[in-house]
Amino acid sequence: MRVLVCGGGRRLGRAIAEDLGAAGCHVAVSSRHAVEPVGVREGRAAAALVADLADATQALAVVRDAAAALDGLDGVVYAAGGAFTPTDLADITPELVEDALGSVVRGLVFVAQAAQEALSDGGSIVVIGDVAAMRGWPSYLPHSAAKGAQRALVSGLARALAPRLRINAVHPGTVLPPDEAPEDALERIVTRIPLGRIGKPGDVAAAVRYLLTADYVTGAELVVDGGRLAT
Ligand SMILES: NC(=O)c1ccc[n+]([C@@H]2O[C@H](COP(=O)([O-])OP(=O)(O)OC[C@H]3O[C@@H](n4cnc5c(N)ncnc54)[C@H](OP(=O)(O)O)[C@@H]3O)[C@@H](O)[C@H]2O)c1
């Protein structure tokens, strides 16, 4: 399988791309900065592309460039996300809203537009959403709103892309907290997770691999949060 991971330069997107490479996929990653390609099995292709997905022209081009580098494309994982910084309502600026919408919503629209042409028959898009899309977080309003908009895009695009292509979402709970997150805040989060731990990148990557190959699943949302939303 030939897969582009948008936002695959670091952290969760990178872990998903590495997992796909280890599973035998040809993998292209895109990032706003130059990064190394991920490791892939012998004989598989790997590429690292630079694109600011908030720019429609670059979002369209990166899908075509990935298809050229991998000699076709069967999957796109959209893992780009805007800034994740707690901000009170009173302190939200137009720039914060623009950053969230650009990286999370505008990028996905134009990546999907290019993917409609570039993906092979039966190909699919997997969007890395967030449980913040289901229950807006007061300290992360632009992020929650952008992730909520992604949910509407996934259900609308599922119909727009069918029957040739599919699109699904994975909604992780806390997996890789920001480096500056205080230890006691993390401990509080864990107390609210029925399965008793934060997620591992591999938990999310396994869900991505499932959805990339689930031929009869489109418009679906897979929550990977240890049961936190269920409480
Ligand atoms: N970490 C978690 O626990 C967690 C939980 C739930 C959901 N998620 C979601 O999973 C995704 C990845 O999470 P993360 O924590 O690894 O995110 P992160 O550390 O905030 O990194 C964001 C990623 O998105 C890329 N990106 C942001 N804006 C972009 C743009 N305009 N154009 C191109 N790339 C852009 C960044 O690329 P650069 O390297 O170029 O900056 C980076 O790779 C995000 O969508 C996030 O909301 C994460």
From CA 30, how far away is CA 48, in angstroms rounded? 6
If DSSP codes are grouped into helix, strand and coil, which group holds residue 80?
coil
Residue having the nearest C-alpha atom to atom 1 of ligand 1: 176
| pLDDT in single tens digits along all 231 residues of the chain | 999 999 999 999 999 999 999 999 999 999 999 999 999 999 999 999 999 999 999 999 999 999 999 999 999 999 999 999 999 999 999 999 999 999 999 999 999 999 999 999 999 999 999 999 998 999 999 999 999 999 999 999 999 999 999 999 999 999 999 888 788 888 999 999 999 999 999 999 999 999 999 999 999 999 999 999 998
Look up residue 156 and give its DSSP letter: H
Question: How do beta strands 26-31 and 2-6 pair?
Answer: parallel
Sequence spans of domains, the chain: 2-230
From CA 94, how far away is CA 86, in angstroms rounded? 15
Q: Is the peptide bond before 163 cis (omega within 30 degrees of 0)?
A: yes
**Model-level pTM greater than 0.75?**
yes
From CA 103, how far away is CA 105, in angstroms rounded? 6
Ligand 1 pocket member 32 (CB < 6 A): yes
Farthest-apart Cα atoms in the chain, separation: 53
What's the one-letter identity of residue 187?
A: E
What's the one-letter identity of residue 70?
A: L
Distance of CA 16 from the midpoint of ligand 1 (Å): 12
Structure tokens at 23: 């599973």
CB within 8 A of 107, min separation 6: which ones? 6, 53, 54, 59, 78, 80
Q: What is the CATH number of domain 2-230?
A: 3.40.50.720
Distance of CA 7 from the midpoint of ligand 1 (Å): 6
Strand order, beta sheet including 73-78: 46-50, 26-31, 2-6, 73-78, 119-128, 166-172, 221-224
Ligand 1 pocket member 146 (CB < 6 A): no
